[in-house]
Amino acid sequence: MARSRYLLISFAVALSVILIAVPLLAAKHYLLFSILFMLGTFLPFMIRFERRKVLGRELVILAILAAIAAVSRVPFASIPSVQPTTFVIILTGFVFGAESGFVVGALAALVSNLFLGQGPWTPWQMYAWGMIGLCSGLLSRTWIKTTKLGRLIFGFITGILFGWIMNLWYFVSLGEQINLVEVLAYYSASFYFDLAHAISNVFFLLLFATSWIKILERFKKKYGLLG
């Protein structure tokens, strides 16, 4: 638990840095800073996951969850920011742990964009959804997972934070043409979409979280998955 809290605090600090320092302080090096930041985030968890002795059946369940998270995004593409992808990623982290949540989140972004279109936003989506899965795993032994209110609060907050992180790729594309007023204006303009994402997370968690957690926990216990 102490290690989990330390990691959670570290990622909160890192998130604050990327949300504030990148648009305002990175100056002429937006693209380089973003690439290095995401590589520094992805690689440790990918390497750690690769070094684990993961069984074939464990890879299968993660692949299925990543596919569900990715494909479930496609039918909702016509409704901006409303999709069950984040819901699936959150529950993966809750049940199977931080590393599994991160992997499913990153893969869900990459695979879903094969249908919806790849672009400079893809690495940011991989980062944002991966971090949501990671934080879900780190909080899996707290009241955030075990209570309905905790899950709803977490889903709402992650919906807002996802949008804030995704706004950053727009600032990266601007290079030097950016100031505080533009940052505030863009974040204000995206609030509707961020709120829609947050509310959709609450909706799916409210209706389906309890049953999904029971099903996934049963699979985990029965087949000894990702203990």
Task: Please name each of the domains of the chain with its CATH number.
Answer: 2-223 (1.10.1760)
- Distance (Å, whole) CA 62 – CA 220: 11
The DSSP line for 120-177 is TTHHHHHHHHHHHHHHHHHTTTSHHHHSHHHHHHHHHHHHHHHHHHHTHHHHHHHTT-
Is the pLDDT assigned to residue 147 strictly greater than 90?
Answer: yes
Average the pLDDT over 159-186 and give the result. Answer: 77
Q: For 10-55, how does the pLDDT look when each residue is reduced to its tens digit (9 = 90+)?
A: 665 666 566 555 555 545 555 566 666 666 666 666 666 666 666 6
Instruction: Please name which of 99, 103, 94 lies closest in space to residue 63, comparing C-alpha atoms.
Output: 103
Distance CA 135, CA 83 (A): 19
| Percentage, residues of the chain above pLDDT 70 | 71
Complete DSSP assignment for 117-134: ---TTHHHHHHHHHHHHH
- Looking at residue 151, its pLDDT comes to 95
* Residue 11 burial by Cβ neighbours in a 10 Å radius (0-12, 13-18, 19+): middle
CA 152 to chain centre: 16
- Stated as kind and residue range, the H or E segment containing 191 is helix 191-223
pLDDT digits (tens, 9 = 90+) for 180-226: 777 788 888 888 999 999 999 999 999 999 999 999 999 888 877 76
Query: Residue 70's pLDDT is what?
Result: 92
CA distance 127 to 42: 7
* Between residues 113 and 4, the one the model is more confident about: 113
| pLDDT value for 15 | 61
Q: DSSP 3-state assignment of 190?
A: coil
The kind and range of the H/E element at 15 are helix 2-25
Residues 6 or more apart whose Cβ sits within 8 Å of residue 118:
none
Q: Per-residue pLDDT averaged across 167-181, rounded?
A: 69
> What pLDDT is attached to residue 199?
95
Residues 154 and 112: their CA atoms lie apart, in Å, by: 23
What is each CA distance from 37 to 19, 29, 61, 123, in whole angstroms?
12, 12, 29, 11
pLDDT of residue 186: 81
Token pair for residue 211?
């049953």
pLDDT exceeds cutoff 90 at 126: no
Q: Which long-range contacts (C-beta less than 8 Å, at least 24 apart) are formed by 178-187?
A: 178/23, 180/24, 183/23, 183/24
More confident site: 115 or 197: 197
Is the pLDDT higher at 145 or at 223?
145
